[in-house]
Amino acid sequence: MGIPIDKITEACDRFPKQQGVTFSYGTAGFRTKGATLASTLLRVGMLAVLRSKKLDGRTIGVMITASHNPAEDNGAKLIDPRGEMLDPTWEAYATTVANAETASDLLKALTQLVDSLKIDLTKSSSVICGRDTRPSGNELNDALQMGIKAMGQETVELVDLGVVTTPCVHYAVKSRNLKGEERKAYGEPTLEGYLSKIADAFNQLMTGRQSTSSLVIDCANGVGFSALEILKPMISSSLPIELVGTNIDDPAALNSNCGADYVKTGQRLPPAMTDILKPGQRACSLDGDADRVVFYYLTTGSHNAPEAGGQVQTEGKFRLLDGDKIATLAAGYIGDLVKQAGLGDKLKIGVVQTAYANGSSTAYLRNAGLPVRCVPTGVKHLHHAAERYDIGVYFEANGHGTVLFSPETIDILAQFEPSTPAQDTAAKQLRGLISLINQAVGDAISDFLLVEVILAHKRWGPEEWDAGYEDLPNRLLKVSVADRNAFKTEDAERKLTSPEGMQAELDELTRKFEKGRSFVRPSGTEDCVRVYAEASTEPGAIQLGKAVQDLVERYSS
């Protein structure tokens, strides 16, 4: 049985590739203007079928989203059978197939793939797809499904989850690839199945605890709102939530003046929170597909500000609790539970960060005796690194992350026989966390519930959480350049190898600032170069950021 030439050709005629446009599978899959992507989604559908056939019919996922990017952008992520990101070797195949200009180029590329990987086309295949609220989502979904059907013919099982969050698709893929009792224990592969699984775990973990106040959640005017409307009544007895950023009917509102990226990059409150958030109340922002979250609050009184020489009296000052703060909170709490269970010698915890992690967070974790690894940006890199630990905590500063419990750790906890009531309580907590925390990928919803559980158990408000360490002042800048690919990096993106000579200049600049640290890397999701700068003082961070921005502009002109 060969590839279905007629159907592929027909599908290619319906969704032709724009000549001269080059697509690449970047940090989080394909991502660009939604209007140019139909041909890519068609090919992603075909590739998903081949990947499934190659893996004996195991379910593969496709999520149509551009996450934190503006509404006119869109993208596609392929999801592997355990709910993890696509195997890196297939990223290259995806790029090749997406760039085949004509139907005959595409047929050639697909045939080559089938031959070289010895894919048995008679095998059945299974694909689950979902999309966020973007206006281009429907057309791209049509293209995707046409690609799936063209390649899968009568042997494909296709499940369309509709408009859902990205983590829901990851979860559903993992669930669908489990069988019988295992699936029953893990949860049903639907949005409702997912939300009721984490709501049950959350309510269990919150038994006898009370949140200090309601949590205000900015849904970024995206799909997170639809999911939270379903979740809200399920958790209302443990945690009252107030939703803002709920306008999913106006496409232009998505991620605009709201959302995790707006808050983290600008270190500011979303305008919709201004009249709602009270000092000392917890708030968080999701992004457009609800796979990342950052927390924040307004101060109630004095806070520690080394840049101003110690304690300063302020009320209503914005304070960010980003992915680094979530990682330190989670690693500390889980580490304590492991010790309380008497498993400190058996279960080792490690933390994975990227170069964007604030220097203070890394120092704090190391001082606490935790191993910390730095890997390149992208959930796929963090996830794999975290899998090496018994319990791997990974978070990007921008709020992407989760906590992974290795299969051996899950077994140890399942079979654990406590010697004391305290050990029993700690082990139960850990087992509850495994159900609450998305083990396939970071999820804004599961992550904010995790934070709420920890704060409720510690009886902490946001200020107590924040007091762990003081972030070094920092700046995150986007610089438009003619060709971002001219900027190449090594050492987990902390050093530039190209343009030649630029890293030496950057080092020289950085040395001028106390605790100065800066790096430059091309974005994998936007057409820009990102600059990160931190220093011991606020003016220092601003000055260093600006100087590095000037350097980027000079080298790109």
Q: Residues 39, 52, 67, 361: which is the catalytic one?
A: 67
What is the C-alpha to C-alpha distance for residues 514 and 536, in angstroms, rounded to an integer?
6
Specify the stretch interacting with ligand G16 by CB under 6 A; choose among 49-57, 107-115, 286-294, 473-481: 286-294
Which of 323-331, 372-380, 430-438, 463-471 is the region at the interface with ligand G16 (rule: CB under 6 A)?
Answer: 372-380
- Tell whether residue 377 is a contact of ligand G16 (CB under 6 A): yes
Could you please report the per-residue DSSP string of 485-538? Answer: GG-EEETTTTEEEESTTHHHHHHHHHHTSTT-EEEEEE-SSSSSEEEEEE-SSH
Q: Which residues are annotated as a binding site?
A: 67, 287, 289, 291, 396-398, 521-525, 530
Dist CA 221 CA 495 (whole Å): 36
Residues in the chain: 557
What is the C-alpha end-to-end distance of the chain, expressed in Å? 53
Q: Which is nearer to ligand G16, 80 or 287 (CB)?
A: 287
Q: Whole-number minimum distance, CB 254 to ligand G16, in Å?
A: 13
Nearer to ligand G16 by Cβ, of 471 and 493: the residue is 493
Kindly compute the dihedral angle of the four CA atoms of residues 463, 467, 471, 472, in this order, to the nearest 10 degrees. Answer: 130
Residues 399-418 that bind ligand G16 (CB under 6 A): 400
Where does this chain touch ligand G16 (CB under 6 A) — which range of 7-15, 114-122, 374-382, 451-459? Answer: 374-382
Which residues from 501-540 bind ligand G16, rule CB under 6 A? 523-526, 530
Q: How far is the CB of 67 from ligand G16 (least distance, A)?
A: 3
Question: Annotated catalytic, 67?
Answer: yes
Asked if residue 68 binds ligand G16 (CB under 6 A), the reply is yes
What residues from 13 to 52 belong to the interface with ligand G16 (CB under 6 A)? 27-28
Dmax of the chain from CA atoms? Answer: 75
Residue type, 16: P
290 near ligand G16 (CB under 6 A) = no
Output helix, strand, coil percentages for the chain, rounded to the nearest 5.
Answer: 45, 20, 35
CB of 380 to ligand G16, least distance (A): 8
Q: Which of 60, 106, 379, 509 binds ligand G16 (CB under 6 A)?
A: 379
When asked if residue 285 is in the footprint of ligand G16 (CB under 6 A), the reply is no
- The three-state secondary structure class of 462 is helix
Tell me the number of residues near ligand G16 by CB under 6 A.
Answer: 18
Strand order, beta sheet including 529-534: 474-479, 529-534, 517-522
Closest to ligand G16 by CB, 51 vs 68, is 68
Task: Measure Cα distances from 321 to 282, 397, 478 in Å.
Answer: 10, 9, 21
Torsion on CA atoms 290, 292, 298, 299, rounded to nearest 10: 150
Q: Which residues are annotated as a binding site for substrate?
A: 396-398, 521-525, 530
Binding site residue list for Mg(2+)? 67, 287, 289, 291
User: Which contiguous run of DSSP H or E holds residue 51?
Assistant: helix 38-54
Structural contact between residues 353 and 394, judged by C-beta atoms closer than 8 angstroms: yes
Q: Which is nearer to ligand G16, 67 or 133 (CB)?
A: 67
Query: Which region, judged by CB under 6 A, interacts with ligand G16, from 16-24, 102-110, 325-333, 394-402?
Result: 394-402
Span from 232-240, 393-401, 444-452, 539-547 in contact with ligand G16 (CB under 6 A)? 393-401
Kindly tell me which residue out of 134, 149, 170, 292 binds ligand G16, with binding defined by CB under 6 A. 292
Q: Which of 471, 199, 208, 451 is nearest to 333 (CA)?
A: 451
In terms of CB distance, is 194 or 532 closer to ligand G16? 532
Answer whether 165's CB lies under 8 Å from 290's CB: yes
378 contacts ligand G16 (rule: CB under 6 A): yes
Binding residue for ligand G16 (CB under 6 A) from 287, 443, 452, 493? 287
Which residue, 490, 501, 492, 489, is CA-closest to 529?
A: 489
Q: Assess 273 for contact with ligand G16 (CB under 6 A).
A: no
Q: What is the contact surface with ligand G16 in residues (CB under 6 A)? A: 27-28, 67-68, 287, 291-292, 377-379, 396, 398, 400, 523-526, 530
Question: Catalytic site residues?
Answer: 67
